[in-house]
């Protein structure tokens, strides 16, 4: 019960933040891929860096045990192909699964269409799974992380990604100012 209350509260905060950022607005999201609007990258990079640094430091301070937080499994080939297919769908729809729910909640027809499409896509997967099973499970490497893969200390990878993301955002800022 406590778990589901947390899920509901986190969900409300998640939806609120996405909507405030303007991420329920398909032309705005699609604008990222035409370099007209950088909201997607700005929100995503700053959220990723905030959560990554927060998790790292809370673990260091003993508040959160990072070892107990679920890291998604890595299955290289289906995740690479899945990402490519997903990216194409993202530009077609101007929304992703989370933001399609935001668009739906804001009353947008594109949101309803995308939500419907996502259900159909998942249904296709559920029905076609027996013939896709071999590919789905190809090249698994478990809950692999960048520090384990590279042998670099966790903090060094965190610092590297922080510098790369802040650098990218700074470059975007300069480029926007010049336009």
Partner 1 sequence: MTPRPYADPYLAGVGLGLVLLACFALSGQGLGASGAFASAASHVAGVVSKNAWVEGYLHGGSWMLVEVGGLIVGAGLSAWLAGRLAVSNAPSGRFAASLTGGILMGVGAALARGCTSGLALSGGALLGVGAWVFMIALFAAGFLAAPLLRRLWA
Closer to partner 1 by CB, 41 or 178: give it.
41
User: Quick check: helix, strand or coil at residue 59?
Assistant: helix
Shortest Å, Cβ 178 to partner 1 = 19
Any contact of residue 168 with partner 1 (CB under 8 A)? no
Touching partner 1, residues 83-122 (CB under 8 A): 83-102, 104-110, 112-122
Shortest Å, Cβ 7 to partner 1 = 4
Q: Say how far apart CA 132 and CA 168 lie, in whole Å.
A: 37
In the numeric block, the tokens 């926007």 are attached to: 176
Question: Under 8 Å CB-to-CB from 66, ≥6 apart: which residues?
Answer: 55, 56, 59
User: Quick check: helix, strand or coil at residue 88?
Assistant: helix
Shortest Å, Cβ 40 to partner 1 = 9
Instruction: Read off φ and ψ for residue 75, nearest 5 degrees.
Output: -130, 95
Interaction mask 36-75, partner 1, x per CB under 8 A: --xx--xxxxxxxxxxx-xx--x----xx-x-xxxxxxxx
Shortest Å, Cβ 28 to partner 1 = 8
């Amino acid at each position: 019960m406590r778990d589901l209350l947390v899920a509901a509260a986190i969900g409300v905060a998640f939806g609120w933040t996405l909507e405030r950022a303007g991420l329920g607005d398909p032309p705005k999201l699609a604008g990222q891929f035409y370099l007209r609007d950088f909201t997607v990258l700005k929100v995503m990079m700053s959220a990723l860096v905030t959560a990554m640094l927060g998790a790292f430091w809370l673990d260091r301070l003993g508040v959160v045990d990072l070892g107990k937080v679920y890291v998604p499994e890595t299955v290289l080939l289906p995740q690479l192909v899945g990402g490519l297919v997903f990216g194409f769908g993202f530009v077609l729809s101007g929304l992703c699964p989370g933001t399609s729910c935001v668009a739906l909640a804001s009353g947008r027809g594109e949101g309803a269409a995308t939500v419907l499409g996502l259900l159909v896509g998942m249904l296709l997967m559920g029905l076609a799974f027996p013939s896709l099973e071999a590919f789905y499970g190809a090249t698994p490497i478990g809950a692999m992380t960048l520090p384990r893969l590279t042998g670099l200390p966790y903090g060094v990878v965190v610092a590297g990604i922080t510098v790369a993301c802040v650098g990218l955002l700074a470059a975007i800022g300069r480029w926007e100012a010049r336009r």
